[in-house]
Chain A
């Protein structure tokens, strides 16, 4: 199983110059040429509307609106050009509450910095393999989240494929 990266358009929203350059360098090495870069939430949303990326890599801490707010707007079925777009949240924050907040904003997966090529590759592949249906409730639209009270649910199961610290 593999992704044809050369066919993808990817939006990288990251205000830190080093991290942005690192992400872009890795994506180019994977084969993606159509990479759009934003250094703040407003530009990220504008590029999302204009370029219709196949994947969004979203930093949490950005000049307003932050990554969390951007994810919510991308998931807004009334205004978003693609509310199903796969979103990978990238953050230096490893706290569990942060991961859950990102999940509740509708992101597909969460990646803690520093980002290694292998983990990034596998996460991107994972976005394509992710077959979870989407769920709409009055306060949420995004990938289905496991019900922690459901039979068989594991403690800490939050619907993300990896928790902070899991990365290689």
Chain B
């Protein structure tokens, strides 16, 4: 079916819009309409929670390796700040930590890595000192004695986030 909606305001070009029925192959193949949501969902979700916990245990031990890789990428970028590939690698490592830190029981690491990934992702020329501060905070947060709920740790994370927000606000456009 094709419809041509009126322009939204004078001067706009009318745009041809084609509406296409969704064949919904997924529903036809595997969707069962009955009242058994809980009967099917509850055991499946319980199994998935157990499986996920096993994966977490296996990967929790790899967090230090994630941090080491981040530190290496940071060092590489500091020596060649114009190198786009080095910046991408650091962004990617920070993004990875952001994505899995909380899931692996390290919410503080995830939070600081999130701040770092925003700094690299949204600020064209981030200050080296602010980058260094993030890396140092991440290494501190990874220490065995570190406690994510510690008020000082939370304040440090918040301070970093605020500095990054200010840096992003100063970006043109």
Point out residues on A near B: beta carbons under 8 Å. Answer: 1-5, 7-8, 16-19, 21-22, 25-26, 28-31, 54-55, 61, 82, 84, 86, 92, 113-115, 117-118, 120-122, 125, 127-138, 143-144, 149
Given the known interface contacts A29-B44, A92-B99, the answer about A135 and B31 at a Cβ–Cβ threshold of 8 Å is no
3 tightest A-B contacts by CB? A117-B48, A2-B40, A29-B48
With A and B bound together, what is the CA distance between A115 and B102 in angstroms? 10
B54 contacts the other chain (CB 8 A): yes
Contact of B8 with A18 in the complex, beta carbons under 8 Å: no
Chain B, interface size: which category? 35 or more
A31 to B60: give the CA distance in the assembly, Å. Answer: 25
By the criterion CB–CB under 8 Å, are B48 and A133 in contact? no
Q: Which residue of B lies closest to A127 (CB)?
A: B26
B34 at the interface (CB under 8 A from A): yes
Q: Chain B 1-34 against A: per-residue CB contact (8 Å), 1 yes, 0 no?
A: 0000000100000011111111111110111111
- Interface flags, B125-165, vs A, CB<8A=1, else 0: 00000000000000000000000000000000000000000
Once A18-B103, A117-B52, A121-B45 are accepted as A-B contacts, the answer to whether A84 and B98 lie under 8 Å apart by CB is no
Residues of A within 8 A of B104 (CB): 18
Q: Tell me whether B26 and A1 are in contact (CB under 8 A).
A: no
What are 30 inter-chain pairs, A to B, with CB distance below 8 A? A2-B37, A4-B31, A8-B29, A8-B30, A17-B59, A18-B55, A18-B62, A19-B100, A21-B59, A25-B48, A25-B51, A25-B52, A25-B54, A26-B52, A29-B50, A61-B92, A84-B23, A84-B24, A84-B25, A92-B95, A92-B114, A113-B100, A113-B103, A120-B48, A121-B44, A125-B41, A131-B24, A135-B19, A137-B15, A137-B16
- Please report the C-alpha to C-alpha distance between residue A17 and residue B103 in the assembled complex, in whole angstroms: 13
Contact B98 A92 (CB under 8 A): yes
Is B171 in contact with chain A by the CB < 8 A criterion?
no
Residues on A with beta carbons closer than 8 Å to the beta carbon of B36: 1-2
Chain A residue at minimum C-beta to C-beta distance from B5:
A147
A92 CA to B114 CA in the complex, in Å? 9
A118–B98 Cα distance when bound, in Å, is: 21
Min CB gap B165→A, angstroms:
12
The reply to whether B19 and A133 form a contact with Cβ atoms under 8 Å apart is yes
User: From B62, which residue of chain A is reached at the shortest CB distance?
Assistant: A18
Question: Chain A nearest CB: distance from B32 CB in Å?
Answer: 5
Determine which of B16, B30, B39, B95 lies in contact with A3 in the assembled complex, contact meaning CB atoms within 8 Å.
Answer: B30
**Knowing A113-B99, A114-B102 touch, does A143 contact B26 (C-beta < 8 A)?**
no
Q: B166 at the A/B interface (Cβ < 8 Å)? A: no
B82 at the interface (CB under 8 A from A): no
CB pair B24 A7 closer than 8 Å: no
